[in-house]
Chain A
């Protein structure tokens, strides 16, 4: 709640507190300020996750998950795997490490450079994004993330490590993080 108030009500709060501290003179202020926040699809947002620009067999897609805006969604194996080579793979094997290159384009459409990486804390051994041009570097923290200047992009891949999990379908969540270069202390 505090954060929400801080962001949306910043102008009001700042003005009021300065005044209150200085003189304690007025009883109340009600100041209307306009704020416009548009929510965008992943392929047009500040951090673009364009899951339709790349990828095959439906492994990556932009899907309306009910909020009205499209989000990047990844499925391994993709629903259309059989359309490509006539095979019908059911998944990744146990105790296996898979890399799927070129699943989506990540682009920084903000106004300053950001470092992009992913965080995962789920059931499988590991999930991470990587730059398809440098598949060996898993972008698991800010220190080994990819820095994107404004307008810059890279082709994102997914690294999946099944570990010792039993057979089945796992609905996992990966957090894609883009942080201003140098941290959030602006």
Chain B
């Protein structure tokens, strides 16, 4: 009996269509509750981990309620000299702010969306050279104060980190920024399926549909992706 009752409880809507179900042997509906356990983690420990660096510039990175943010203003208490903000009519570079680590099980493409006007993120940190690897989409691609960073999606294997992500920007008549940006990560296939980026196949096919090897993971990973 226990078993039977269990069946009914698990199929709450069956009764509504009971006559049909018995008459035809069809099932009309199933409604099944299933358990999902989800852990919400600190940004630094998450599947896509976002972690402040140890550098002095990481003072510009805030950590409130387990979520990182960027604050270059008088309200950032981490800044010992209490600056009120960036200079107008200037280019300002903040290197080595945070790391992005893929702690998932598949390789992902990483990029940043909704970057504020006049500002852009980059993902390289080579000495005093100006950053030239853009990170994602934003106005920086058409406004290249630093030599025109590419707005590529960068590939991270499982366990790999994009270290020392920084941001830069500037210009004349700068506006205050008070908003949010979106850090995105998706497998190449997901980028394709959700039409998140532009696909430039290594085999020179015009579109993935023309490429007989499209589903080969290696091909997806090696394609040149642009947001």
Contact = CB atoms under 8 A, between A and B. Distances in A.
Interface of A: 3-4, 6-8, 10, 37, 39, 42, 45-47, 49, 56-57, 65, 67-69, 71-77, 81, 84-96, 98-99, 101, 110-112, 114, 124, 127, 133-136, 158, 160, 162, 165-180, 184-186
B38 A89 contact: no
Interface string B39-81: 1111101111110000000000000011100000000000000
A6 B34 CA distance: 26
Given A7-B8, A37-B7, 4 more contacts: A110-B27, A112-B28, A136-B194, A136-B195
A170 B50 CA distance: 21
A158 B190 contact: no
Contacts of B37: 73-76, 169-172
Given A74-B37, A136-B194, A167 B66 contact: yes
Contact of B24 (A47, A73, A111, A175): A111
B193 A133 contact: yes
Contacts of B46: 89-93, 96
Question: Closest 8 A-B residue pairs measured CB to CB?
Answer: A85-B158, A91-B39, A186-B20, A91-B41, A3-B15, A90-B41, A89-B103, A85-B159
Contacts of A134: 193
Most buried by A among B22, B27, B67: B27
A91 B4 CA distance: 37
Contacts, number: 230
Interface of B is mostly: mixed
B105 A47 contact: no
A110 B28 CA distance: 8
Nearest to A2: B15
B17 A170 contact: no
Contacts of B18: 3, 6-7, 10
Nearest to B45: A90
Contacts of B45: 88-91
A134 B15 CA distance: 32
A169 B193 CA distance: 30
Nearest to A165: B40
B216 interface: no
A91 B49 CA distance: 9
Interface in B7-31: 7-8, 13-22, 24-31
Contact of A168 (B13, B20, B33, B39): B39
B32 A186 contact: no
Contacts of A162: 38, 40
Contacts of B34: 49, 71-74, 173-176
A172 B35 contact: yes
Contact of A172 (B24, B38, B42, B47): B38
B13 A179 contact: yes
A175 B9 CA distance: 13
B101 interface: yes
B46 to A, nearest CB: 4
Given A176-B31, A178-B29, A94 B36 contact: no
Contacts of B142: none
Nearest to B22: A10
A86 B4 CA distance: 45
A176 to B, nearest CB: 5
B17 A186 contact: yes
13 contacts: A39-B4, A42-B32, A76-B47, A89-B103, A92-B39, A133-B193, A136-B193, A166-B65, A169-B38, A171-B37, A173-B33, A176-B34, A178-B30
B104 interface: yes
A76 B36 contact: yes
B105 A85 contact: yes
